[in-house]
Amino acid sequence: MTQSKADLHFHTWHSIDSFISPKDAVNLAIKKDIRVLAITDHDTIEGAKAASNYASKHKLPVEIIIGEEIYTNGGHVIGLFLKTRVPSFQSLEDTLIQIKAQGGLTIVPHLMFEEDALGEYIYRYQVCYLDLLNRPDLLAMIDAIEVQNFTLIEPQYFEKTHFINEKFLQKAEVSSSDCHIKINFGHTFSLFDGETANDLRNAILERKTTPLCIRKKSLVHQLLGFGPVVKLPIHITLQFTYRIIEGVYVKTRNTIRKHFPSKQHKPV
């Protein structure tokens, strides 16, 4: 059976920390022979929809999955095959439930990412695998673990993540670019049997994906993974501001609804 490449973690300029247009994302996928590309922007699915529309309109040989990298209070989660955006900064449980309600798949990205104190204080990048082990109901809603991520260059990252997954979590393993700049793309991907997004879905559910990362030994190639780090201070500041604004909005809306409930019209 034919094997194809998929990248399940990619950011366009609809994320605040990427410089890649949806059109360029599609063209990059074609250039690097990526058959299925999941656009997983932060807090939005607009980039994914734009890329999907472009690929469909021009009948290009790449299939776009509508995805989103979602900030939860328990760490980042990727939702795939989404129909609508999943709001950020909810509990991990509520986020997973909303993804599943759309018929989506869930991926835990950068599971073993080492956070600094500031990042942990503002929001958690990673889902803690101990949280999943302590909550079997949450673990049951996880479909895959990102065991390789091109932007993380720690030599033991794959070994540690693979060990945790194989020993405890026992989910499909995927490898993704977490691409924010063009030079980071095409080195890290997942192989699956078939050619379509539906084939990929089946491969994830059956735990038959193969994660691969082709990283040369040269210092320059290793440093490519640091692309997003340059924008990290901006990223943290904007996300922190966004979180405050969203929190104020939600509290204000709930207060208005509490004190000025809408009239309920009785059926005639």
Supply the CATH number for residue 210's domain.
3.20.20.140
Strand bridging mode 63-72 / 3-10: unpaired
Quick check: is 161 in a domain? yes
Q: What is the distance between the terminal CA atoms of the chain, rounded to a whole angstrom?
A: 61
Is 149 part of a structural domain of the chain? yes
Is 244 part of a structural domain of the chain?
A: no
Structure tokens at 134: 């302590």
pTM: 0.80
What whole-number distance in Å separates Cα of residue 69 and Cα of residue 126?
A: 12
pLDDT in tens, 93-119: 999 999 999 999 999 998 876 554 444
Give buried/exposed letters for 54-88 (b at 16+ CB in 10 A, else e).
Answer: bbeeeeeebbbbbbbbbbbebbbbbbbbbeebbeb
Does residue 36 belong to any structural domain of this protein?
Answer: yes
Q: How far apart are CA 63 and CA 19, in angstroms?
A: 21
Residues 6+ positions from 52 with CB-CB distance below 8 Å = 39, 64, 66
What range does the domain containing 19 cover?
Answer: 3-228
* Count: domains in the chain: 1
Q: Which single residue is written with the structure tokens 């070994």?
A: 159
Grouping H, G, I as helix, E, B as strand and the rest as coil, residue 165 is helix
Helix (H, G, I), strand (E, B) or coil at 97: helix
Determine, yes or no, domain membership for 75: yes
> Does 241 fall in a domain?
no
d(CA 266, CA 263): 9
Domain membership of residue 245 (yes or no) is no
Give, for all 268 residues of the chain, the pLDDT tens digit. 799 999 999 999 998 778 899 999 999 999 999 999 999 999 899 999 999 999 999 999 999 999 999 988 888 999 999 999 999 889 999 999 999 999 999 999 988 765 544 444 444 567 888 888 999 999 999 999 999 888 776 667 788 899 999 999 999 999 999 888 888 888 899 999 999 999 999 999 999 999 998 865 544 554 555 444 445 555 556 556 656 666 676 778 778 877 777 544 444 3
Q: For 198-223, what is each residue's pLDDT tens digit? A: 999 999 999 999 999 886 554 455 45
Position 266 in a domain: no
Q: CA nearest 35: which of 13, 58, 15, 8?
A: 8
